[in-house]
């Protein structure tokens, strides 16, 4: 049964927390961006955006307050694309954006979507961006075809795209809460709230895969262990006696649950695996961290464990006391709980979106694809990874001035003999 454009939508389980804990510093936004081989025509991009939003009514919404929860309602206001500024993953103010929860940005040859996490995760936004770029190229007059990869504006949305898949796979018998210790927090000089540093490195995907496989690791495991090693060597080593350095380093890696549970949802449907290790010696090696990360991720990817973490989150929402608590009280309870626990359980988020694919007819017009995840007060450095064709793009965002973590991370690959192209938004110029 198809859902009507005028329907309202419940926020999915993952999306309900973000409106209560987001601010100018903790924006909970992320970006996916395409660089074309030619300058973007803003008028055509505006038409393409208007056209494709009719295919994705779940993104053509605004957030409203209900008696018990926020919800999403169909937005009748026009959607306006915006020029891209130096800001990356900045706070999204619906009042300045006709109440929409995402932006379409452009500059030179680039098209980007920045989205508030209450609306979708990276998987949903990649699909939206693919459709937008397809429609843009089509309006430009190029002979491009969808090839069962792109959702076009001529298709009708189906109910499965709207479902809260977390609730669908909820298991009341497997929802045990596992207490966690607060994570190590990366230290540095905070940037002003409206500034985020961005440094990206581009390498050959095949060569990086070869390097990871030489250690019997996945690419994500290799990167996560390396991130731990860099944090250890730049911030903790030889200062393990400090109390703040005795907290475990936790690299959170979101898992796209669509690859593990059948779902066509465009909404949030991800969980995480993580490292969890106190680096309290002066002689920890990268090889040790490889072993720890591989074991942690293998255990975290067991189907029963993915269901447990998913069900733990849904069980919190199903709590009778919380369900019937008025929204104006509930929002403070959620904020206090998240500030006490959620924000402090994570040292760094490392989001691997995976391989982004476009139809062969579109490839001549696309130069590269990039992703970025907002950094904040508690997660001062975050990382987003994706690949397009033979290029691997690793993008670090930071809310601090210092760049030693990114520098040492990329130095590892140049010392291994890999070619590396580094780009920066030079946020220092705006401080």
Q: Over pLDDT 90: what percentage of the chain?
A: 68
Under the banding of pLDDT at 50, 70 and 90, the label for residue 2 is very low
Measured CA to CA in angstroms, residue 392 lies from 58, 354, 429 at distances of: 30, 9, 27
Residue 180 token pair: 């966690």
The candidate with the shortest Cα–Cα distance to 417, out of 214, 249, 262, 263, is 214
Domains of the chain, earliest start first:
9-159 (3.30.559.10), 197-430 (3.30.559.30)
What are the backbone angles phi and psi of residue 329, rounded to the nearest 5°? -90, -40
Distance from CA of residue 63 to its chain's centroid? 20
Under the banding of pLDDT at 50, 70 and 90, the label for residue 341 is low
pLDDT digits (tens, 9 = 90+) for 14-33: 787 787 778 888 899 999 99
Residue 401 has pLDDT above 90, yes or no: yes
| pLDDT at 33 (0 to 100) | 97
SS (HEC) of 205-259: HHHHHHHHHCCCCCHHHHHHHHHHHHHHHHHHCCCCCCHHHHCCECEEEEEEHHH
H or E segment and range at residue 368: strand 366-373
| pLDDT at 1 (0 to 100) | 36
Could you tell me whether strands 197-204 and 270-274 are parallel, antiparallel, or unpaired per DSSP bridges? unpaired
| pLDDT at 69 (0 to 100) | 78
DSSP symbols for 82-101: EE--S--S----GGGTTT-S
| pLDDT at 241 (0 to 100) | 86
The candidate with the shortest Cα–Cα distance to 253, out of 148, 352, 144, 324, is 352
H or E segment and range at residue 310: helix 303-318
Residue found by looking up tokens 């939508």 in the block: 9
Average model confidence (pLDDT) for the chain?
91
| pLDDT at 94 (0 to 100) | 79
């Amino acid at each position: 049964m198809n859902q009507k454009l005028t329907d309202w939508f419940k926020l999915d389980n993952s999306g309900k927390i973000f409106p209560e804990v987001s601010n100018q510093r903790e924006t909970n936004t992320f970006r996916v961006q395409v660089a074309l081989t030619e300058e973007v025509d803003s008028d055509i991009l505006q038409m393409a955006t208007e056209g494709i939003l009719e295919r994705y009514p779940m993104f053509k919404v605004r957030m409203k307050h209900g008696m018990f929860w926020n919800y999403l309602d169909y937005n009748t206001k026009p959607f306006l694309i915006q020029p891209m500024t130096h800001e990356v993953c900045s706070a999204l103010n619906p009042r300045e954006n006709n109440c929409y929860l995402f932006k379409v940005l452009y500059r030179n040859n680039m098209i980007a979507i920045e989205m508030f996490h209450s609306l979708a995760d990276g998987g949903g936004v990649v699909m939206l961006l693919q459709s937008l770029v397809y429609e843009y190229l089509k309006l430009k007059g190029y002979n491009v075809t969808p090839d069962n990869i792109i959702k076009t504006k001529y298709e009708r949305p189906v109910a499965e795209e709207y479902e809260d898949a977390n609730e669908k796979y909820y298991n009341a018998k497997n929802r045990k809460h596992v207490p966690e210790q607060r994570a190590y927090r990366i230290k540095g000089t905070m940037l002003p709230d409206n500034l985020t540093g961005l440094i990206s490195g581009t390498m050959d995907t095949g060569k990086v895969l070869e390097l990871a496989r030489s250690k019997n690791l996945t690419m994500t495991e290799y990167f996560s262990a390396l991130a731990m090693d860099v944090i250890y060597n730049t911030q903790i080593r030889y200062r393990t006696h400090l109390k703040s350095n005795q907290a475990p380093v936790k690299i959170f890696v979101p898992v796209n649950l669509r690859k593990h549970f059948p779902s066509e949802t465009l909404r949030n449907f991800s969980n995480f695996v993580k490292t969890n290790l106190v680096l309290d010696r002066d002689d920890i090696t990268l090889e040790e961290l490889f072993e720890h990360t591989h074991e942690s991720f293998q255990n975290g990817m067991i189907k029963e464990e993915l269901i447990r973490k998913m069900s733990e989150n849904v069980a919190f929402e199903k709590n009778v006391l919380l369900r019937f608590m008025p929204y104006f009280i509930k929002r403070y309870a959620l904020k206090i709980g998240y500030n006490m626990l959620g924000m402090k359980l994570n040292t760094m988020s490392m989001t691997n979106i995976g391989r982004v694919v476009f139809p062969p007819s579109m490839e001549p017009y696309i130069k590269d694809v990039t992703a970025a995840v907002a950094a904040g007060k508690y997660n001062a450095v975050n990382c987003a990874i994706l690949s397009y064709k033979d290029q691997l793009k690793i993008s670090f965002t930071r809310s601090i001035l210092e760049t030693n973590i990114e520098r040492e991370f990329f130095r590892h690959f140049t010392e291994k003999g890999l070619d590396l192209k580094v780009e920066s938004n030079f946020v220092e110029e705006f401080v």
